[in-house]
């Protein structure tokens, strides 16, 4: 996360506190102390702890989506697009392990909070962009026939499961070392 603005500094501080103390134990005061922001600045930018949590979640998913978008600009085949979905996810998780842990465990809280509609909109936009990028390959029947709502789970499911175990310290092999293998498995799972 870039430290280019006060808002970013607050989000970075929130992530640091959440990583150290957990979501429930983290308080506005902790975030204020760690960020150096005034209480007025915290409330000006976010309003409350739940909005900070929601903004942190949305910022993480947006950063991953931006990484994916950059890759899509160069991916010129169905295989490269599918593998990109896996490799971008792995690259982001490896570069941002604390943020990734938060995203893996914080979704339900955000879905139940004030920013639930913004999360739904962001997820819808992300899904639409994926569909747009892959539509031509679907039209060419380069993928196995399967329900569209299963397609992404088939691609990212094994990677997300391994990442969850790696982030929890339950896997010995570093996630980055599994990058090519998991990308190949994803492609093999969906190619016609």
Q: Looking only at Cα atoms, what is the longest distance across the chain?
A: 56
Tell me the mean pLDDT in the region 117-127: 93
Identify whether the C-beta of residue 146 lies closer than 8 Å to the C-beta of residue 154. yes
Tell me the mean pLDDT in the region 41-48: 91
Tell me the mean pLDDT in the region 164-177: 97
Distance, CA of 28 to CA of 160 (rounded, Å): 31
pLDDT in tens, 128-153: 999 999 999 999 999 999 998 899 99
Query: Can you give the pLDDT at residue 161?
Result: 97
Distance, CA of 90 to CA of 164 (rounded, Å): 11
Give 23's pLDDT tier (boundaries 50, 70, 90): very high
Mean per-residue pLDDT of the chain = 94
Distance, CA of 190 to CA of 186 (rounded, Å): 7
Tell me the mean pLDDT in the region 164-172: 96
**72 CA to centre of own chain:** 16
Percentage of the chain lying above the pLDDT 70 cut: 98
pLDDT at residue 3 is higher than 50 = no
Write down all domains in the chain, each with its CATH number in brackets: 1-47 (1.10.10.60), 56-190 (1.10.357.10)
């Amino acid at each position: 996360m870039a430290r280019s603005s006060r808002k970013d500094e607050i989000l970075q501080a929130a992530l640091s506190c959440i990583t150290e103390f957990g979501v429930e134990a983290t308080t506005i005061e902790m975030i204020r102390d760690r960020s150096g922001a005034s209480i007025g600045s915290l409330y000006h930018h976010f309003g409350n702890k739940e909005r900070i949590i929601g903004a942190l979640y949305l910022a993480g998913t947006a950063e991953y989506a931006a990484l994916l978008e950059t890759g899509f600009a160069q991916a010129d085949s169905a295989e490269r697009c599918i593998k990109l979905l896996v490799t971008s996810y792995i690259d982001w998780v490896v570069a941002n392990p604390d943020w990734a842990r938060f995203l893996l465990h914080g979704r339900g809280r955000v879905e139940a909070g004030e920013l639930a509609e913004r999360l739904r909109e962001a997820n819808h936009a992300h899904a639409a962009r994926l569909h747009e990028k892959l539509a031509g390959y679907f039209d060419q029947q380069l993928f196995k026939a399967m329900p569209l709502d299963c397609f992404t789970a088939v691609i990212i499911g094994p990677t997300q499961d391994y990442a969850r175990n790696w982030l929890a310290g339950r896997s010995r092999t570093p996630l980055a070392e599994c990058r090519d293998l998991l990308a190949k498995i994803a492609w093999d799972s969906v190619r016609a």
